[in-house]
Amino acid sequence: MEIVILSLAAFVVAILTFFSGFGLGTILTPVFMIFFPVDLAIALTGVLHFFNNIFKIILVGKKAKRQVTLRFGIPAVIAAFAGAWLLLRITDLSPLFSYAIGGRTFEVSPVKFIISILLIAFALIDLLPYFSKLQFGKEKLPIGGALSGFFGGLSGNQGALRSAFLIRAGLSKEAFIATAVVVSTFVDFTRLSVYATRFSKAGLQENLTLVISATLAGVAGSYIGNKLLKKVTLKFMQVLVAIMLILLSLALGAGLL
């Protein structure tokens, strides 16, 4: 049942996030946390996210803008090392607090609390009119890359900040998506190389069937998303994904996930 639910989630989310440029790892990480410990959820989502991005590169990678990719991607990769290192240091910390409702006890760990705050902050970037009016010139790309890479390494939620900078860098819809995919793949490879020290402990090998099934479902979703690319407005998808993130983050921050 876990394989069916998570594969279906990967399929649907991959379709939605093909347009927004972010959301696959952001949404799937809390979903995976419903079934697995935090360590394993982040590891499983990271592997799925990486291979899904490889497929996206095959579909649209040639449309990425070289200069923007380098100016944004290099700082992102460097910062991703720092974020991933920090994640491994806080994962085993004791819960921040716990509470009981209806005879059930819910615990909020530092990792879950941090991710929930990040989700809300990133979602608000796309929902609040103030942020939609901000213009980030190309000189701000290294800063955006560093921020995106750091939070990507820390929680897997790299996309919202990346989109906030790239979408206002003068790129076409196709170039925006392609550039975001290429940068995201670099960050994924970087953070997975750091997470690798925990893969055996987390139980990644025992869940390879799930990873493969969810990855194939995500690839199928990305393929459909590519076909629908010219039929859906970018802003609509950003708002839809942002609302989903807020709902998930509230549940995560409350210890329900």
Per-residue pLDDT of the chain (257 residues; tens, 9 = 90+): 667 777 777 777 777 666 555 556 666 776 777 777 666 777 777 787 788 788 888 878 888 888 889 999 999 999 999 998 888 888 777 777 777 777 777 777 777 787 778 777 767 766 666 665 655 566 778 888 998 899 888 877 777 678 777 877 777 778 888 888 899 899 989 988 887 766 555 556 666 677 778 777 877 776 776 666 555 555 666 666 667 667 766 776 666 66
Beta strands in the chain (DSSP E): 97-101, 104-108
**DSSP label of 94:** P
CB 217 within 8 A of CB 86: no
Which residues, other chains included, contact 132 with Cβ-Cβ below 8 Å and sequence gap of 6+?
126
- pLDDT for 38 equals 67
Domain coordinates in residue numbering, the chain: 2-253
CA distances to 40, 151, 236 from 166, in Å: 30, 16, 17
Distance CA 85, CA 21 (A): 25
- pLDDT for 135 equals 57
**DSSP label of 107:** E
- pLDDT for 133 equals 60
Distance CA 90, CA 75 (A): 23
From the list 18, 13, 24, 60, the residue with the least C-alpha distance to 232 is: 18
Which residues, other chains included, contact 103 with Cβ-Cβ below 8 Å and sequence gap of 6+?
none
- pLDDT for 210 equals 73
Report pTM.
Answer: 0.71
Cβ neighbours around 14 below 10 Å, total: 28
**DSSP label of 65:** -
- pLDDT for 252 equals 65
